[in-house]
């Protein structure tokens, strides 16, 4: 197709070729490929978006890979724009320090550190902090703020340099990053090399069980190469001389898991949460192909319901705008065939996205002030995981007679 695209033929956790397609979504451009007005004339390439199930280790993944440079070097998402996320990371840091206390001279490193939202809470506790992030502008801005950030992708080669310069790291975090990496073997080899003997690696990812349970198909986009569950991860870490010692469920992104990992035979005991979650996954059938077939059927049902509602609204000559332009919105807009004829514009509080156009569909992204200047009848909340805070912040829209549509996990009008 082009040099920015490739397709692998084996499972990224166990290297098996015993893979089967379980969900074929509409091809899309990269989910964060927002464009300027001038770029609208250029056609954006759509890449395949298809989920595969490994019959050997039960890992769910994309095999179509877009170059990480294309996806992340000009990244526009910043954690600090969401009050929900800032609060989440503050509680996250507090919980980790309570459960796994660090010595005073411990070093903390965040992979995919973005604007330093999580690291600022560790810095506030007087720990040495270091960020790693490939997004050039965001990294530069974060370093200027006083949180040292290396502009690069984390891998084994970079781990060698970091260990040499800074020594072993006691706490390594990676949030919504572990799903983005194609070569996970090289990544965890880097973690193994850099982690101190008593250290922990903590990562948070969207949880496959919640994606299936709540039909959150729009969590599928090219940045998310892996859709993690504990069954395959246990085996993977053991094979790479690491061990999973704790799993905590969280509500972010419609349902996520926070996994705590240490070097094989490390100082911490394996907690009951690991066995408990494996038991739940087997009961749910995350190792059974039929569960994923049912998932695909549920998506088609959700599509019919939403399109029927939107058509009815348009037939009544009512106006619809979107709220939130997260990566997941690209998948939803494409798979549900929603274009500028249906939603006139999308509001987003991230200033970096404002005055741009959505990937492929080219729907204008504007400031939320617009909904009070040119009030639509309905707001379709594309950032559905923040629906509660969006509705709370925009009670005035409701007072003016506006209504909110929440497409997932259940179609609701509020």
pLDDT at 74 over 70: no
Nearest to 227 by CA among 16, 10, 61: 61
The residue to which tokens 């549509």 are assigned: 405
Provide the strand spans (E) within 40-115: 47-54, 60-62, 64-66, 107-111
Q: Would residue 74 count as lying in a domain?
A: no
Both structure tokens of 351: 């200033």
pTM of the predicted protein model: 0.91
Query: What pairs with residue 261 in β-bridges?
Result: 201, 244
Q: Where is the domain boundary, 287, 307, 325?
A: 287
Q: Count the domains in the chain.
A: 2
- Averaged pLDDT score across all residues of the chain: 93
Domain identity same for 189 and 200? yes
Distances (CA, A) of 13 to 33, 104, 187, 390, 391: 28, 36, 12, 37, 40
84 pLDDT exceeds 90? Answer: no
CA distance 351 to 334: 24
The per-residue pLDDT for 80 is 62
Look up the domain containing 188 and give its range: 79-287
pLDDT in tens, 132-162: 998 888 899 999 999 999 999 999 999 999 9
pLDDT for residue 66: 93
| Residue 409 and residue 323 share a domain | yes
CATH number of the structural domain spanning residue 302:
3.40.50.720
Residues 204 and 95 in one domain: yes
C-alpha to C-alpha distance for 355 and 339, rounded to whole angstroms: 17
Say if residue 110 is in the same domain as residue 251.
yes
Burial class of residue 146 (count of CB atoms within 10 Å of its CB; 0-12, 13-18, 19+): exposed
Is the same domain home to 281 and 295?
Answer: no
380 in any annotated domain: yes
Same domain flag for 132 and 214: yes
| 171 and 240 co-located in one domain | yes
Residues 321, 234 share a domain: no
Is residue 164 situated within a structural domain? yes
C-alpha angle 103/130/192, rounded to 5°? 70
Same domain flag for 262 and 152: yes
pLDDT single digits (tens) 170-214: 999 999 899 999 999 999 999 999 999 999 999 999 999 999 999
Transcribe 266-293 into DSSP letters.
-SSPPPHHHHHHHHHHHHHTTT-HHHHH
- Domain membership of residue 307 (yes or no) is yes
Residue 248 sits in the same domain as residue 296: no
Q: Is the pLDDT of residue 292 over 90?
A: yes
State whether 280 and 360 are in the same domain.
no
CA distances from 413 to 24, 306, 310, 312, 385 (A): 28, 11, 11, 13, 15
Average pLDDT over residues 308-322: 97
Average pLDDT over residues 256-264: 97
Closest CA to 56 of 24, 10, 8: 10
Q: Which of 287, 322, 350 is the last residue of a domain?
A: 287
Boundary (domain end) residue, out of 287, 313, 336: 287
| Residue 33 maps to a domain | no
**Does 51 fall in a domain?**
no
Q: Is residue 276 part of a domain?
A: yes
Assess if residue 56 is contained within a domain: no
CA-CA-CA-CA torsion for 138, 142, 145, 149, nearest 10 degrees? -150
What does the pLDDT read at residue 216? 92
DSSP 176: S
Residue 94 is part of a domain; what is its CATH number?
Answer: 3.40.50.150
203 with 250, same domain: the answer is yes
Q: Walk across the sheet containing 320-323 and list its strands.
A: 365-366, 346-347, 320-323, 378-381, 403-406, 412-413
């Amino acid at each position: 197709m082009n040099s920015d695209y490739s397709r692998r033929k084996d499972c990224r956790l166990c290297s098996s070729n015993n893979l089967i397609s379980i969900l074929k979504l509409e091809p899309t451009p990269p989910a964060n490929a927002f464009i300027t007005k001038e770029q609208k004339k250029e056609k954006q390439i759509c890449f395949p978006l298809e989920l595969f199930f490994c019959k050997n280790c039960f890992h769910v993944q994309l095999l179509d890979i877009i170059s990480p440079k294309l996806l992340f070097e000009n990244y526009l998402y910043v954690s600090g724009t969401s009050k929900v996320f800032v609060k989440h990371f503050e509680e996250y840091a507090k919980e980790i320090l309570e459960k796994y206390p660090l010595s005073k001279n411990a070093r903390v490193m965040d992979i995919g550190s973005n604007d330093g939202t999580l690291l600022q809470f560790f810095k506030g506790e007087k720990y040495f902090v270091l960020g790693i992030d490939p997004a050039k502008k965001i990294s530069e801005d974060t370093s200027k703020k006083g949180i040292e950030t290396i502009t690069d992708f984390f891998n084994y080669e970079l781990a060698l340099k970091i260990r040499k310069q800074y020594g072993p790291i006691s706490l390594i975090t990676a949030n919504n990053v572990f799903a983005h990496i194609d070569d996970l073997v090289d990544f965890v080899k880097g973690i193994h090399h850099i982690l101190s003997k008593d250290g922990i690696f903590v990562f948070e990812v969207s949880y496959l069980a919640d994606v299936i349970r709540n039909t959150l198909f729009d969590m599928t986009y090219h940045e998310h190469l892996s859709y993690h569950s504990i069954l395959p991860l246990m085996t993977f870490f053991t094979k790479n001389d690491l061990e999973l010692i704790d799993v905590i469920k969280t509500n972010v992104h419609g349902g996520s898991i926070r996994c705590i990992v240490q070097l094989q035979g490390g100082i911490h005991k394996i907690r009951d949460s690991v066995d408990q979650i494996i038991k739940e996954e087997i009961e749910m059938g995350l190792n059974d192909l039929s569960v994923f077939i049912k998932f695909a059927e549920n998506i088609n049902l959700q599509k019919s319901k939403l399109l029927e509602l939107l058509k009815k609204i348009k037939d009544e000559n009512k106006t619809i705008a979107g709220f939130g332009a997260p990566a997941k919105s690209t998948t939803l807009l494409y798979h549900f065939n929603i274009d500028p004829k249906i939603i006139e514009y999308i509001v987003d509080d991230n200033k970096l996205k404002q005055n741009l156009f959505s990937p492929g569909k080219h729907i204008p992204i504007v400031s939320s002030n617009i909904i009070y200047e040119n009030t639509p009848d309905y707001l379709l909340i594309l950032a559905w995981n923040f629906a509660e805070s969006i509705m709370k912040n925009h009670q005035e829209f409701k007072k003016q007679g506006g209504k909110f549509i929440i497409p997932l996990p259940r179609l609701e009008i509020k």
